[in-house]
Structure formats: structure tokens, C-alpha cells
């Protein structure tokens, strides 16, 4: 009579050969089943010329540039070192501009035994202040073979020249047991990414595309959360307070868009993250645009990201320095001019569970302090530019503008109007030459 161990191993071998679902004694999908499933799926994707690339966090975390190159040269045997992460699901990305929706692939996958769940959502690219289309597009595909799932995240091009994926939203009729949704790497929130450069390599005996800069992609993923403009609320606001369509307002809108794009490029080259702040943030949150009567663009930068070559970089980009107030240790503020539009850069200081930025009155040396609850940063889009905003946008806006933030106020005194402003002393007269510089 065969022992229990021999019987188990024999059954395991026969099941593997037949391609059926295989579990180890602990109840996990075996590496051989993972490889067999992925081989089947990737072969099908290759046949239909789907340019899938690996986005799975656990798998990519195992990679380094040296490991990728080494495996590209040497790994031709079906060892499962990278793709068998112990999870019952793995994720891939698909840039939709490189693959038009092809139901033939989806049908072929189902004919090969894969169960399919397609999750759809509203197309934000069709929404605007003029129309709310409500049209839907596919956002996520989930393929299941027995209890192993493959998650394909669809990445769409946005007007700000970046890639976007939508959130996973399960409708009432969706089978919640179809996949381990809580384990999904992508979809808890919408996300925004720079377009990755991809390389084709061999992982665990399979041809797989991966981002060339794996660590950079993973860093993006950690900070990828994207907030969509609130078009419906903005539309309601603009019905009450119609947008200024004068020639001066249209001209400011055009110049502000150019300035924001150039500022974003300049700071990206320095690897300095920024977010839209003050009235610029209010305009995005309240009306999905810039406030025409503000006549400037406001951004925030954490003082920990300050670089001494910032002023030179902005000058090289064509900006002229208008003023420099404060110092790195206290209340630093820079202001530049581009094409008659002012760019104010406020530097923020963290203090416990709060953050603050400073202000200086040039003629008196008086100092001011603006207090905000501590916040995290999300991506958004303003004037067709990919920018960051405080994720806790309402709290941020209310700190600055109070409970009446939704009402337009054209008469604004930066020293007294903000809800969060505090007097913060006076700069010593002996230091004015260094700390209050106006050009």
C-alpha cells in the first residue's frame, strides 16, 4: 500500500500535468500552478499583441536592475523566484493607447478557461464644465483560473501627458468572492503615473515586460493617488457665479496655464515636489479652474525639499525674481514673474500635527503665520497640467478660507482675511537687507 506522502506527491504530479488547480497542504497556490497559469495567460496576450507590463508590487520589489539584467541573460529555466510571491493574485498594467479594446482577446481568454470580471467606470476625460457625459469605459480586468487571479489595470492617457487609472468600485451585482479585492495593489484610489520606459526580460522562464526603473515606478506607486476635479459641484458654482469671459480674464487664464506648466517642468527637473496652494488650490477645488481675478499662481513646497539652486533654475527657465522674504529656517517665501503673471512659492514647515507657512510685509517687516492641519499630497489636473493638491483638500481650503470658502470674495487682504493667519512678530531692522529683498 502506498504511504500517504507518496500518494500525495503522486496526486500532486498528476494534477500538475493535467493543468488543474493545485494547492499545497497549507492551502496556497503552488508555484507550478502560478507558472502554468501565467504562461497560458501571457502566451494569449502575446498572440493578441497586448503590451502588458508587470506592475505587481511584491514581484517588482524582488527585482533590481542587476537582477533583471542577470535573469535576462541567464534565466531560461522555469524557476519561480519572482512571480510566485505567495499571493493568490498578480497585477499587470496595460496602456490603452497601445491596445484598442479588443473583445476577441477577452473571448479567447474565456475559451481557455479563464473567468472574466470587467469593471467599468465613468470616463473623466469626457467630463467638463459644459457637459457631464456619464459615459463609461473599462477600468480593470480580473481573470481567474480556479483560485488564482490576474489583475490587469488599464492606463489611459490624460491631457496633462500622464497615465491614469480609475478606482475599483464594485457595483451591487458584482460577486465579492470573485477575487481577493482587499489584496489588489491598484484600485483603492484612482492613480496617476508618468509614462514608464519598459524593457522585455525573462522572469521565471517567462517573457515579461517590466519598468526599466523599477524602484522609481514603485516610488510613484506609493504616491500615485489621484483626485478628480469636482465637475458637478463646479458646474453648480458657475451657474450661481458665471465665469468671467472678458478679454483680460481669458488672457490671464492663458498666461497662468503657461506659467504653471513651466513651473512644473522646472521643479520636476530639480526633483522638488510642489502642490497648488492658496487661491490656486481654491480655484481647482471650487470651480475646476483658476480664479480669474486672483491674477497670480500660488504653490507650496515643504522646506525640507528646498534647494539652493532653485532661484537659478527658475531664472534659467525665463522667470524673473520679484522678491525673496525670510530665510530657510523661518518663513521663506519666493515670488517670480513670468509674462506679467506672478508665481508665489510658499515654503511650509511641519510642527507636530500642524504645518505652517510664513508671510512678510515688506514695508514694515511684520511677520505672519498661516496654520494648516497636517496633510498628505495627491495628484490632480489643473489647466491640463499634472499637479499635486492636498489630499485633505476641504480641510486645507477651510483652514485658509473658513466656512464661507464657497463664496467668491474679490476683496482679499492677505494679512487679515485668511481664517488661519496669526501675527508672528517683526523681523529685526538690522536683518532687513538680507531677509526682505524686493527686485
Tens of pLDDT, residue by residue over 222-243, are 999 999 999 999 999 999 999 9
CATH 3.30.460 residue ranges in the chain? Answer: 13-222, 231-438
Q: What is the pLDDT of residues 315-327, one digit of tens each?
A: 999 999 999 999 9
Q: What is the mean pLDDT of residues 63-83?
A: 61
Q: Is the pLDDT of residue 381 over 70?
A: yes
Q: Supply the pLDDT for residue 69.
A: 55
Q: Supply the pLDDT for residue 23.
A: 42
Q: What is the pLDDT of residues 238-295, one digit of tens each?
A: 999 999 999 999 999 999 999 999 999 999 999 999 999 999 999 999 999 999 998 8
CB 187 within 8 A of CB 165: yes
Q: Is the pLDDT of residue 407 over 90?
A: yes
The answer to which of 66-80, 205-219, 265-279, 333-347 has the lowest mean pLDDT is: 66-80
Q: Supply the pLDDT for residue 128.
A: 72
Q: What is the pLDDT of residues 332-353, one digit of tens each?
A: 999 999 999 999 999 999 999 9
Question: DSSP for 213-278?
Answer: SHHHHHHHHHT-BB----HHHHHHHHHHSPPP-SHHHHHHHHHHHHHHHHHHHHHHHTT---EE-H
Q: What is the CATH number of domain 231-438?
A: 3.30.460
Q: Supply the pLDDT for residue 435.
A: 97
Q: Is the pLDDT of residue 365 over 70?
A: yes
Q: Supply the pLDDT for residue 71.
A: 53
What percentage of the chain reaches a pLDDT higher than 90?
A: 78
Spatial separation of the C-alpha atoms in residues 101 and 223, rounded to whole Å: 28
Q: Is the pLDDT of residue 401 over 90?
A: yes
Q: Supply the pLDDT for residue 129.
A: 65
Q: Is 67 exposed, middle or buried (0-12, 13-18, 19+ CB in 10 A)?
A: middle
Spatial separation of the C-alpha atoms in residues 178 and 226, rounded to whole Å: 26
Q: Which residue has the higher pLDDT, 122 or 356?
A: 356
Q: Supply the pLDDT for residue 25.
A: 38
pTM: 0.89
Q: Is the pLDDT of residue 359 over 60?
A: yes
Spatial separation of the C-alpha atoms in residues 284 and 277, rounded to whole Å: 10
Q: Is the pLDDT of residue 186 over 80?
A: yes
Q: Supply the pLDDT for residue 127.
A: 75
Q: 132 falls in which pLDDT band (50, 70, 90)? A: low
Q: What is the pLDDT of residues 4-20, one digit of tens each?
A: 444 434 443 433 443 33
Which fold would CATH assign to domain 13-222? Beta Polymerase; domain 2 (3.30.460)
Q: 66 falls in which pLDDT band (50, 70, 90)? A: low
Encode 148-183: b = buried (16+ Cβ within 10 Å), e = exposed: bbbbbbbbbebebebbbbbbbeeeeeeeeeebebee
Question: DSSP for 14-78?
Answer: HHHHHT---B-TTSPBPHHHHHHHHHHHHHHHHHTT---EE--HHHHHT--HHHHHHHHHH--S-
At which residue does the C-alpha cell 522585455 appear? 200
Question: DSSP for 129-153?
Answer: SS-----EEEEEEEEEETTEEEEEE
Q: Is the pLDDT of residue 179 over 60?
A: yes
426-429 contacts at long range (C-beta below 8 A, 24 or more positions apart) = 426/364, 426/365, 426/366, 426/367, 427/360, 427/365, 427/367, 428/365, 429/365
* Averaged confidence pLDDT in the chain: 89
Q: Cβ atoms within 10 A of the Cβ of 359, count?
A: 20
Q: 26 falls in which pLDDT band (50, 70, 90)? A: very low
Amino acid at each position: 500500500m502506498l504511504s500517504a506522502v507518496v500518494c500525495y506527491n503522486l496526486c500532486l504530479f498528476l494534477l500538475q500535468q493535467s493543468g488543474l488547480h493545485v494547492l499545497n497542504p497549507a492551502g496556497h497556490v503552488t508555484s507550478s500552478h502560478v507558472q502554468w497559469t501565467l504562461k497560458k495567460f501571457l502566451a494569449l496576450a502575446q498572440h493578441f499583441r497586448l503590451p502588458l507590463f508587470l506592475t505587481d508590487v511584491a514581484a517588482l520589489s524582488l527585482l533590481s536592475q542587476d537582477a533583471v539584467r542577470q535573469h535576462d541573460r541567464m534565466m531560461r529555466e522555469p524557476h519561480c523566484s519572482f512571480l510566485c510571491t505567495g499571493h493568490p493574485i498578480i497585477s499587470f498594467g496595460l496602456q490603452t493607447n497601445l491596445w484598442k479594446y479588443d473583445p476577441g482577446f477577452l473571448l479567447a481568454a474565456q475559451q481557455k478557461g479563464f473567468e472574466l470580471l470587467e469593471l467599468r467606470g465613468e470616463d473623466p476625460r469626457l467630463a467638463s464644465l459644459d457637459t457631464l457625459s456619464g459615459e463609461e469605459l473599462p477600468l480593470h480586468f480580473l481573470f481567474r483560473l480556479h483560485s488564482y487571479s490576474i489583475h490587469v489595470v488599464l492606463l489611459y492617457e490624460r491631457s496633462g501627458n500622464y497615465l491614469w487609472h480609475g478606482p475599483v468600485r464594485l457595483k451591487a451585482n458584482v460577486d465579492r468572492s470573485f477575487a481577493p479585492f482587499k489584496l489588489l495593489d491598484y484600485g483603492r484610489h484612482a492613480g496617476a503615473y508618468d509614462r514608464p520606459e519598459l524593457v522585455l526580460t525573462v522572469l521565471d522562464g517567462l517573457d515579461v515586460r517590466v519598468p526599466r526603473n523599477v524602484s522609481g515606478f514603485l516610488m510613484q506607486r506609493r504616491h500615485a493617488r489621484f483626485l478628480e476635479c469636482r465637475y458637478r459641484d463646479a458646474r453648480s458654482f458657475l451657474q450661481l457665479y458665471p465665469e468671467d469671459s472678458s478679454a483680460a480674464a481669458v488672457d490671464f487664464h492663458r498666461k497662468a496655464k503657461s506659467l504653471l506648466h513651466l513651473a512644473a517642468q522646472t521643479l520636476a527637473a530639480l526633483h522638488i515636489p510642489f502642490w497648488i496652494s492658496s487661491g490656486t488650490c481654491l480655484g481647482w477645488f471650487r470651480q475646476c479652474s483658476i480664479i480669474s481675478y486672483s491674477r497670480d499662481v500660488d504653490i507650496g513646497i515643504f522646506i525640507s525639499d528646498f534647494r539652493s539652486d532653485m532661484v537659478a533654475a527658475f531664472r534659467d527657465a525665463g522667470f524673473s525674481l520679484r522678491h525673496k522674504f525670510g530665510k530657510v529656517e523661518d518663513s521663506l517665501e519666493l515670488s517670480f514673474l513670468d509674462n506679467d503673471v506672478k508665481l508665489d512659492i510658499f515654503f511650509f514647515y511641519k510642527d507636530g500635527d500642524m504645518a505652517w507657512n510664513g508671510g512678510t510685509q515688506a514695508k514694515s517687516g511684520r511677520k505672519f503665520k498661516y496654520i494648516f492641519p497636517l496633510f498628505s499630497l495627491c495628484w490632480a489636473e489643473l489647466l491640463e497640467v499634472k499637479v499635486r493638491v492636498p489630499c485633505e483638500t476641504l480641510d486645507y481650503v477651510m483652514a485658509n478660507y473658513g466656512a464661507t470658502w464657497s463664496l467668491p470674495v474679490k476683496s482679499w487682504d492677505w494679512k487679515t482675511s485668511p481664517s488661519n493667519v496669526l501675527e508672528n512678530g517683526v523681523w529685526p531692522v538690522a536683518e532687513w537687507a538680507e531677509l526682505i529683498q524686493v527686485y
